[in-house]
Amino acid sequence: MNTLLEVGYLLTAVLFILGVMRLRSPATARSGNLTAASGMAIAFIVTVLKYHSYSWLLIGIAIIVGAVVGTYAAKKVRMTAMPQMVALFNGMGGGAASLISIGALHSSWSHGISTPGSSISALLTILIGSISFTGSLLAFVKLQELISGRPVTFGAQKLVNGILLAIALILGLAMVISGGKHDFLTLTTYVIIAVGLGVLVVLPIGGADMPVVISLLNAFTGLAAAATGFLLANNVLIIAGALVGASGTILTQAMSRAMNRPIQNILFGAFGKVAAGEGGPLAGTDGVVQTASVEDVATILAYSRNVVVVPGYGLAVARAQQEVRQLMEKLNQRGVTVRFGIHPVAGRMPGHMNVLLAEADVPYDSLYEMDAINPQFPQTDVVLVIGANDVTNPAARNQPGSPLYGMPILNVDQAQRVIVLKRSMKPGFAGIDNPLYTNPKTSMLFGDAKASLSQLLRELDDV
Amino acid sequence: MLSHLLIEVYIFVLAVFVGFQLISKVPSVLHTPLMSATNAIHGVILVGAIALASSVHGTLDVSIAVAAVFLATLNVVGGYVVTDRILGMFKKKSAERPTE
């Protein structure tokens, strides 16, 4: 009977790996997800076949309710709300890992069969899983704007977190040594501290840093799953957890590199506060901002040969994705090539902007990564920047004093002309002036992105 | 006992390497579905929850385990459905409807 289980799990691990391999290309990605899901189905079936239990009715109800709620939420969620949905599902996984370890540890205590090894695995899972659970829930609450997305900071934050972590480690050590005699209260305290740490870690992190946090929490849940695998001697959990831990780590690194902020900076220093002092007065001391009318922009676009659109999260906030796609189609009909240059941190989670554009039927072969589009800017007639700011700021390249200096940006200032659709001259998230706006090549079209684009679409018919 | 743990560590370390190799080749266009797919993959924790739920006794332990089953199911099912929805939207130009 165990052989069936182990062979099933091996098959699952292989299908997971094949599934992720197929996620490397948009053409095969959907089947890759199904491959991984079929691996999951196999693991589920062999597990159910293995165990004989008196609790099947309860387990069955939990599975059915979970599946119905999960499907409903996944079908209903709007694509702009995808980051918080992923955070929420991620938190559920972390919570499950933590609960499994609490249950297994408690049960092993009451049977007097706990070993130091199993206790360490369990306590580690409880710590990581609980941080992931409450951290993800708080990320959800912030992104859903149930509370303000602003960083919440207080003076001795790092110290408090450090002390709590130290207490948790001491309690954990005590439980490992005692082997669980009369330790129920200690375990409860340990769980409460772990749960509290999740909240405290995410509280000081602002909305725009969420791509990093979500990646990091994803890695955490992966590690919690792997640690549960050690606890239960379950290889498929170890493999799956390691895969997810690696993927979360890579994405976290990629995101913090794209934001030009070391990960400890994001976790421990609230960005808005750091940069605010260096922001300075609005809009260029050494240049004039040129504005353009909708008619001007329509004419410029209609008579160019190739256009690169640089979308930022402001585009999604204005819900103007459909208008952008229509603009692309209209320009294509006139023989203008339209491509999209997408910064890695555009949106609220890694790759979010690509999803938002795909939802509006923009074909994925028009979407270009930063490294692919940057060499193309000098040969580009017009760049249309919509709702993006800091990721186009040339100060990141040429002003060593700027807080953005060193951040990889889209070099839109190298194009022949730049048109910026923007609500007002307010600086971007980092609170830093953008010299792009006073560049003689640049024209600003002020207003709501959706309204401006709709007018632009009408004007294009008359050009 | 020790050798058993050692084998598990082997598996973990090798899987981490496989993970790094696999994921570093995913283009940033697909980072959101990648994240949501790997998010669903760690939902395999469900099998651990089922294993625990069917081996423990006592109201407290069973309740904890059943709650874990519920959370893990949400994670798995929600994760795969949402990833499928995202990937269903990625279309290539050639697959587009003919130009109106």
- Cα distances from A169 to residues A177, A188, A205, A369, in angstroms, run 12, 14, 24, 43
How far apart are the C-alpha atoms of A22 and A2, rounded to whole Å? 30
pLDDT tens-digit readout, A198-209 = 999 898 887 778
Least confident of A162-166, A236-240, A286-290, A421-425: A286-290
More confident of the two residues A41 and A212: A41
Q: In the predicted model, what is the mean pLDDT of residues A292-320? A: 91
Q: Is A394 helix (H, G, I), strand (E, B) or coil?
A: coil
The minimal CB distance from A239 to the residues B11, B65, B68 is found for B11
Cβ <8 Å between A23 and B18: no
- B6–chain A Cβ distance below 8 A for any pair: no
Share of chain A above pLDDT 70, in %: 94
Closest-approach residue (CA) in chain B for A242: B16
Tell me the per-residue pLDDT of A326-355, one tens digit each, with 9 for 90 and over. Answer: 999 999 999 999 999 999 888 888 889 999
Task: Compute the distance between CA of residue A142 and CA of residue A151 in angstroms, rounded to an integer.
Answer: 10
Which residue in B54, B62, B70 has the most chain A C-beta atoms within 10 A of its own C-beta, making it the best mutation to test that interface?
Answer: B70
Question: Could B38 and A69 be called an inter-chain contact, meaning their C-beta atoms sit closer than 8 Å?
Answer: no
Chain centre to alpha carbon of residue A342 = 15
Contact between chains at A245 and B19 (C-beta distance less than 8 A): yes
pLDDT above 70 (res A285): no
Please check the confidence at residue A227 and state whether its pLDDT lies above 80: yes
* pLDDT recorded at residue A266: 73
Confidence band (pLDDT; 50, 70, 90) for A428? low
Q: Report pLDDT for A218.
A: 94
The pLDDT, as a whole number, for residue A92 is 96
State the pLDDT confidence band at A272, using cuts at 50, 70 and 90: very low
**A3 at the B interface (CB within 8 A)?**
no
pLDDT of amino acid A1: 54
Return contacts of A142-150, CB within 8 angstroms, 24+ apart. A142/A202, A142/A207, A142/A210, A143/A81, A143/A83, A143/A84, A143/A87, A143/A207, A143/A210, A143/A348, A144/A81, A144/A84, A149/A206, A149/A207, A149/A210, A150/A206, A150/A207, A150/A272
- Decide: helix, strand or coil at residue A307: strand
**Residue pairs between chains A and B whose CB atoms are closer than 8 Å:** 384
Cross-chain residue pair A366–B67, CB shorter than 8 Å: no
Assign A404 a pLDDT band (cuts: 50, 70, 90): confident
Q: Between chains, do A104 and B52 touch, taking CB under 8 Å as contact?
A: yes
- Nearest C-alpha of chain A: how many angstroms from B48? 7
Q: Which residues of A touch B97 (CB under 8 A)?
A: none
User: If you count DSSP H runs as helices and E runs as strands, how many of each does chain B have, helices first?
Assistant: 4, 0
Specify the pLDDT at position B1.
56
Structure tokens at A279: 């922001």
Helix (H), strand (E) counts: chain A: 18, 6
Is there a contact between A55 and B53 if contact means CB atoms under 8 Å apart? yes
Q: What is the mean pLDDT of residues A409-420?
A: 93
Q: Give the confidence band of A378 by pLDDT, cuts at 50, 70, 90.
A: very high
Q: Within 13 A of A206's CA, how many CA atoms are on the CB side? A: 15
Report CA dihedral (A351, A412, A311, A29) to the nearest 10 degrees. -30
8 A C-beta contact, residue B8 and residue A239: no
Averaged over A233-258, what is the pLDDT? 92
Nearest CA in chain B to A36: B41
Are the C-beta atoms of residues A49 and A4 closer than 8 Å to each other?
Answer: yes
Contact flag A89-B68 (C-beta cutoff 8 Å):
no
What would the DSSP string read from start to end of A44-62? HHHHHHH---S-HHHHHHH
pLDDT tens digits for A139-182? 999 988 888 877 777 777 788 889 999 999 999 999 988 877 76
Nearest Cβ partner for A246 among B19, B49, B96: B19
> What positions of A carry a catalytic annotation?
390
Q: Residue A71 in contact with residue B77, Cβ under 8 Å? A: yes
As beta bridge partners, residue A420 has A385, A444
The confidence score (pLDDT) of residue A284 equals: 42
In the predicted structure, residue A317 carries a pLDDT above the cut 90: no
Structure-block tokens of residue A173? 């050590």
Per-residue confidence band for A430, with pLDDT thresholds at 50, 70 and 90: low
Query: What would the mean pLDDT of A11-27 be, rounded to a whole number?
Result: 94
- Please choose, from the candidates A305, A324, A406, A312, the residue with its C-alpha nearest in 3D space to the C-alpha of residue A363: A324
Q: Which residue has the tokens 């098959």?
A: A11
Locate the domains of chain A by residue range: 77-272, 294-462
- Res A21 pLDDT > 60: yes
Out of A40-44, A105-109, B85-89, which region has the weakest mean confidence (pLDDT)? A105-109
CB A353 within 8 A of CB A311: yes
Between residues 56 and 95 of chain A, which touch chain B (CB distance below 8 Å)?
56, 58-59, 62-63, 65-67, 69-71, 73-75, 77, 79, 82, 85-86, 88-90, 92-93, 95
How far apart CA A212 and CA A251 sit, in angstroms, is: 8
Answer whether B77 sits within 8 Å of A70, measured CB to CB: yes
CB < 8 Å from A in window 41-100 of B: 41-56, 58, 60-62, 64-93, 95-96, 99
The average confidence (pLDDT) of chain A is 88
Q: How far apart are CA A316 and CA A79, in angstroms?
A: 10
Give 10-residue mean pLDDT values along chain B (100 residues): 82 94 89 93 95 88 94 96 94 55
Q: What is the CA radius of gyration of chain A?
A: 26
Q: Do residue B43 and residue A89 have CB atoms under 8 angstroms apart? A: yes
Sequence-ordered alpha helix ranges (H) in A51-156:
56-76, 82-110, 116-143
Q: Residue A369: in which H helix or E strand, if any?
A: strand A367-369
Integer Cα distance of A371 and B31 in angstroms:
15
pLDDT of B100 reads 35
Q: Give the pair of three-digit tokens for residue A456.
A: 């632009």
Separation CA A212–CA A189 (nearest Å): 29
Residues in B touching A106 (Cβ below 8 Å): 60-61, 64
User: Is pLDDT above 80 for A184?
Assistant: yes
- ipTM value: 0.92
Nearest residue of chain B to residue A104 (CA atoms): B52
Is residue B28 less than 8 Å (CB to CB) from chain A?
Answer: yes
Q: Which CATH number, 3.40.50.720, 3.40.50.1220, 1.20.1250.20, 3.40.30.10, labels domain A294-462?
A: 3.40.50.1220
Contact A99 B77 (CB under 8 A): no
